Chain A
Amino acid sequence: MIGTIVAQASASLRVLKTGYRNDSWLGRLGFYAALVLTMVVALFPFYVMLVTSLSPDDAIYSSDPSLLPEAVTLSHYTVLFGSETFAFTSYFLNSAIVASVTASFSLVVGVIGAYSFTRLTFPGNGFVRRGVVVVYMLSSITVIVPLFQVIATLGLVDTRLSLFITYTVSTLPLTLYMLWNYFESLPVEIEEAAMLDGYSRLETIFQIVVPLSLPVLVAAFLFAFKIAWNEYIFASVFLKSQAKLTLPIGIEQMNANFQNVWGQVMAASFLTTLPIIIMFLYLEQYMVEGLTAGGVEG
């Protein structure tokens, strides 16, 4: 990431200096060198994770670790799915449910909220908007105790609902922020045209604003999903029963309750990362920019 930025910056600097793009081989070399460096730094942990999950135990605990696996085994994966000891499948399902529901909630509330922030004038609009940003700055650890009291009072301890609520609330600021920035860039005339064409505000939101915002909606969904999928603190405090645990808690318990399960932990971690990557690769096609091209002139 940082390397890409550096490379971009050096490219822009060159454009600034020469007035236009005039790619020399030296410039290109610098760009690719920076790119490779970034890739190595960013991808190395994933590589280690993958290699460890595929290595037999004796290789993992060897006193002479090697970067290249000498033998490959899927035994850690079979243990995850095969044995009754690890409820990996159940953790995975729990996480999937919690993350999808949260991301969807967050998106629906976010669309309506961001729309009203950007398109309607009401007293306190600016105040609430600033509030949203401030809330996002707060760390979840600082509110965990009062939040637990609220959840306990509502009788929601050890329910999925407790996570739906707290995750939606904690992802909402980001969703709102992303959406309202995007909505502000949408030309209002397009919505006005729809209203003059006989469509109500709600219809306009869902038939015009939502389709035009697809890239940012997908991105916001991904972010919310990722946050909920990886969240640890709330889940560890609110959930009690094994059957409801999500992946981060599950994996942590696995590590805490058993000895020498590095291989399984890495396999589980790898499988935890996988859905996010697959989702990203699939949804990326919807995140193309420039959906509004051709709508308005000037």
Chain B
Amino acid sequence: MPYNPSQSEQPANHTGSPHSRAPASEDDASQSVEATRVALSALTKRFDDVVAVDSIDLEVNPGELLVLLGPSGCGKTTTLRMIAGLEAISDGVVEIGGEDVTRTTPQERDVAMVFQSYALYPHKTVRENIEFPLKKLSLTDDEMAERVTETASLLDIDDLLGKQPSALSGGQRQRVAVGRALARQPSVLLMDEPLSNLDAKLAVTTRSELRDLQQRLGITTVYVTHDQEEAMSIADRIAVMNQGRIEQIGSPREVYQEPRSEFIATFLGDPSMNVFDADGPATPLRRTLTETAPTATARVGIRPEGGYLLGDDGPIGTPATAVTEAVQCTVTVVEPIGRAYEITLRAGDQQFVIRTRTRPEWVEADADVQVVFGQSEITFFDETGRRIEDG
């Protein structure tokens, strides 16, 4: 059965959503605009004989931040550009706010976009960059000045207004680009990998600032990235794309915990899920993992955090569920990442990675250790790569 996203629930604002924010201060509310719905149906893009986007159905709820996530070449940016009107649509319909905009120009769509390269107007100052879209709104000079001031303080770029883009740092340019997009108060905000040109460090802080801003303004946002960590941190919902199709749509938690396919299971998560062929020599590792496998199982997966080192007092860490029998392994590499350790293990000729919060002293390269797996964290895939759901 092809996945039909319209049947999916709309979890954007379900209670306890990881992103629902504390009520912010009063003056933020004045910024919010009536949020707009974006709907794509059977949206298709063909370049000559290559199908870049293959009949996508997608609904972006008002005020939601939806992330299009996928590897390069999966069609996510093309989809975004079709929503913007920058790419001609081969087939299908784009609706913004209930209105069919499929054949309209970008100027008529009331969408704003933050480009990966920022695309600032290099011959204009920061102020002129922000004013540029406002000039099309028939505002009075006072209103215009007010909008610029408002936008500048929103993004904390007040001091930069008189500067040329060439005099700004990467992070500042990024802010100006976001400011220019928001100044017009568009009904939809599109972002194409807005953080990929920033330092890793800066990208992480900017990420939560962007999220914060988006929620305060309540603006419907479609955000493209190839970085699963970025996607999970920032999204209300993630649409995972692969080869021009949407493979799954859901909240970060759903997509991570209940992936529909092996592709999604391995694409989300760092380190990736370990996946083994279910058939093959009956090594202890394979026997342990396939013990409860349904008959259709072709591949079996276990997330790194689903494996636990066995200490003297049982598993180290806190398995949420019952664990499997122990498997004898040898440690290959221990990698500290600060908040956790990634430990590469070898069992027979199979390698896999587990992730632990603490590292007992005896865990070092070439040490022999025992590993158990959380029973409920073992994932089964059938021959076509689809996950076999429980029950």
**A residues within 8 Å of B by Cβ?**
187, 189-190, 192-200, 208, 211-212, 291-298
Can you give 5 contacting A-B residue pairs, CB < 8 Å? A190-B122, A195-B86, A197-B132, A197-B184, A291-B122
Across-interface contacts of B123 in A (CB, < 8 A): 211-212, 291
User: What distance in Å separates the Cβ of A76 from its nearest Cβ neighbour in chain B?
Assistant: 46
Contact present for B113 and A294 (CB under 8 Å): no
Contact present for A189 and B107 (CB under 8 Å): no
CB < 8 Å neighbour of A192 from B106, B118, B184, B196: B106
A295 to B137, CA, bound (A): 24
Across-interface contacts of B86 in A (CB, < 8 A): 192, 195-196
A197 to B182, CA, bound (A): 11
Contact present for A298 and B197 (CB under 8 Å): yes
In this complex, what residue of A is CB-closest to B124?
A211
Contact present for B170 and A294 (CB under 8 Å): no
User: What distance in Å separates the Cβ of A193 from its nearest Cβ neighbour in chain B?
Assistant: 4
A190 to B180, CA, bound (A): 12
Across-interface contacts of A212 in B (CB, < 8 A): 122-123
Contact present for A193 and B119 (CB under 8 Å): yes
Interface status of B84 (Cβ within 8 A of chain A): yes
Contact present for A187 and B173 (CB under 8 Å): no
Contact present for A296 and B118 (CB under 8 Å): yes
Contact present for A194 and B132 (CB under 8 Å): yes
If over half of A's interface residues share one DSSP class (helix, strand or loop), that class is named, otherwise mixed; here it is loop
A204 to B2, CA, bound (A): 43
Mask for B160-181, Cβ within 8 A of A = 1, else 0? Answer: 0000111110100100000010
Contact present for B133 and A293 (CB under 8 Å): no
Total inter-chain residue pairs, C-beta < 8 Å:
92
Interface status of B115 (Cβ within 8 A of chain A): yes
Contact present for A196 and B106 (CB under 8 Å): yes
Interface status of B112 (Cβ within 8 A of chain A): yes
Contact present for B106 and A195 (CB under 8 Å): yes
CB < 8 Å neighbour of A295 from B120, B167, B184, B196: B120
Q: Contacts A195-B105, A195-B106; is A297 near B132 (CB within 8 Å)?
A: no
Across-interface contacts of A295 in B (CB, < 8 A): 117-122, 165
Q: Contacts A294-B165, A297-B170, A297-B197; is A192 near B133 (CB within 8 Å)?
A: no
User: What distance in Å separates the Cβ of A205 from its nearest Cβ neighbour in chain B?
Assistant: 14
Place the interface of chain B in its size category. 20 to 34
A21 to B120, CA, bound (A): 34
In this complex, what residue of B is CB-closest to A294?
B166
Across-interface contacts of B105 in A (CB, < 8 A): 195
A291 to B184, CA, bound (A): 26
A296 to B184, CA, bound (A): 21
Interface status of B136 (Cβ within 8 A of chain A): yes
Across-interface contacts of A296 in B (CB, < 8 A): 115, 117-120
Interface status of B116 (Cβ within 8 A of chain A): yes
Across-interface contacts of A190 in B (CB, < 8 A): 119-122
Contact present for B184 and A187 (CB under 8 Å): no
**19 additional contacts (CB under 8 A) given A196-B84, A196-B85, A295-B120:** A187-B119, A189-B119, A190-B120, A193-B121, A193-B180, A196-B111, A197-B180, A197-B184, A200-B107, A212-B122, A212-B123, A294-B166, A295-B165, A296-B115, A296-B118, A296-B120, A297-B173, A298-B196, A298-B197
Across-interface contacts of B84 in A (CB, < 8 A): 192, 196
A190 to B116, CA, bound (A): 11
User: What distance in Å separates the Cβ of B210 from its nearest Cβ neighbour in chain A?
Assistant: 16
Across-interface contacts of A198 in B (CB, < 8 A): 107, 133, 136-137, 184
User: What distance in Å separates the Cβ of B161 from its nearest Cβ neighbour in chain A?
Assistant: 15
A189 to B86, CA, bound (A): 10
CB < 8 Å neighbour of A197 from B85, B116, B117, B136: B136
A187 to B117, CA, bound (A): 9
Q: Contacts A187-B117, A198-B136; is A294 near B164 (CB within 8 Å)?
A: yes
CB < 8 Å neighbour of A208 from B107, B121, B196: B121
Across-interface contacts of B112 in A (CB, < 8 A): 196-197
User: What distance in Å separates the Cβ of B162 from its nearest Cβ neighbour in chain A?
Assistant: 14
Across-interface contacts of B113 in A (CB, < 8 A): 192-193, 196
Contact present for A298 and B117 (CB under 8 Å): yes
User: What distance in Å separates the Cβ of A59 from its nearest Cβ neighbour in chain B?
Assistant: 53
Across-interface contacts of B168 in A (CB, < 8 A): 294
Q: Contacts A190-B119, A196-B113; is A293 near B132 (CB within 8 Å)?
A: no
Across-interface contacts of A195 in B (CB, < 8 A): 85-86, 105-107
Mask for B103-143, Cβ within 8 A of A = 1, else 0? Answer: 00111000111011111111100000000110011000000
User: What distance in Å separates the Cβ of B197 from its nearest Cβ neighbour in chain A?
Assistant: 4
A46 to B123, CA, bound (A): 39
A293 to B180, CA, bound (A): 18
CB within 8 Å of A: which of B60-108? 84-86, 105-107
Mask for B44-55, Cβ within 8 A of A = 1, else 0? Answer: 000000000000
Question: Closest 3 A-B residue pairs measured CB to CB?
Answer: A294-B166, A295-B122, A294-B165
Contact present for B111 and A293 (CB under 8 Å): no
User: What distance in Å separates the Cβ of A127 from its nearest Cβ neighbour in chain B?
Assistant: 18
Across-interface contacts of B117 in A (CB, < 8 A): 187, 189, 295-298
